[in-house]
Amino acid sequence: MTHNHAPAAPAVGFPDLHWRPVSEGDLDSWAALIARTAAVEQPVWFERRADLEQIVESKKNPIGQNAVLGFDSEGVSRAYARLTKNQDGDKANGFCAVDPQWQRRGVGSALLWWLEARTRQRFAEDGSVQGSDTPAQPRLRIFIEQKQQHQCALLEESGYEVVRYYNEMHRPLSAPLPEAPLADGLEFVRMEPGLSESLRLAHNQVFADHWGSEPRDEESWGFVVNDPLARPDLSAVVRESSTGEVVGYQLASHDPETAVTRGFTEGYTDLLGVRREFRGRGIAQALLADAMRRFAAAGMDLASLDVDSDNPTGAMALYRKMGYAPVNTSLAWDKVL
Residue 9 is predicted with a pLDDT of 85
pTM of this prediction? 0.92
Residue 3 is predicted with a pLDDT of 46
Query: What is the C-alpha to C-alpha distance for residues 142 and 1, in angstroms, rounded to an integer?
Result: 25
Residue 261 is predicted with a pLDDT of 84
Low-confidence ranges of the chain (pLDDT < 70): 1-7, 128-135, 311-313
Residue 260 is predicted with a pLDDT of 84
Q: Indicate the CATH number for domain 18-159.
A: 3.40.630.30
Same fold, 18-159 and 168-332: yes
Domain spans in the chain, listed from the N-terminal domain onward: 18-159, 168-332
46-91 pLDDT per residue, tens: 999 999 999 999 999 999 999 999 999 999 999 999 999 999 999 9
Residue 240 is predicted with a pLDDT of 97
Residue 127 is predicted with a pLDDT of 82
Q: Indicate the CATH number for domain 168-332.
A: 3.40.630.30
Query: What is the C-alpha to C-alpha distance for residues 112 and 96, in angstroms, rounded to an integer?
Result: 8
Residue 210 is predicted with a pLDDT of 85
